[in-house]
Chain A
Amino acid sequence: SCLTPQTAMLYRFNGSPSKSLKDINTMIKQREQT
């Protein structure tokens, strides 16, 4: 099934800003709390 933003977050080595990883960490934390 094709990925949509709701199903996964992406990061590219030497290509994405550090903020992308911060967003992933935030998403993981939020999902843990729900």
Chain B
Amino acid sequence: AQECQNLEVERQRRLERIKQKQSQLQELILQQIAFKNLVQRNRQNEQQATRSPPANSVIHLPFIIVNTSKKTVIDCSISNDKFEYLFNFDNTFEIHDDIEVLKRMGMACGLESGNCSPENLKVARSLVPKALEPYVTEMAQGSINSVYVAST
């Protein structure tokens, strides 16, 4: 009975670790799909426009966005080599990373919110290897945790 109890504790610990790894995998799948969609979109746009967009009109990844009200006064100090910046705001702000921007642009096919149309699901599945397709299907239905149950 004691051995049973010890193994049960180990089993729970492994289950927790697997759930955490699945959620990290889910985030990486979203990134993979979003990045591939972004590259495809830009490539198509450039082919149609038969030229690249002006360098000062695009922002390359990785980046972050700080979002604040237009009334906010921002005071900025920059080191000569541009390796250090200090911003002072007199109002609140929000910070978002590039993945968040790509999700808002729809590049993750709506998987992040679990509402993915059948066409988008097809696109999303084509952007990941076969072994990961079950995850994409589960994410499209908004229930990643069940993937583990399914495989056992």
Contact = CB atoms under 8 A, between A and B. Distances in A.
Interface residues of A, number: 11
A24 B96 CA distance: 10
A23 B94 CA distance: 10
B97 A18 contact: yes
Nearest to A32: B92
A29 B68 CA distance: 12
A11 B95 contact: yes
A14 interface: yes
Given A17-B27, A18-B27, A25 B62 contact: no
Contact of A21 (B62, B64, B92): B64
Interface of A: 11, 13-14, 17-18, 21, 24-25, 28-29, 32
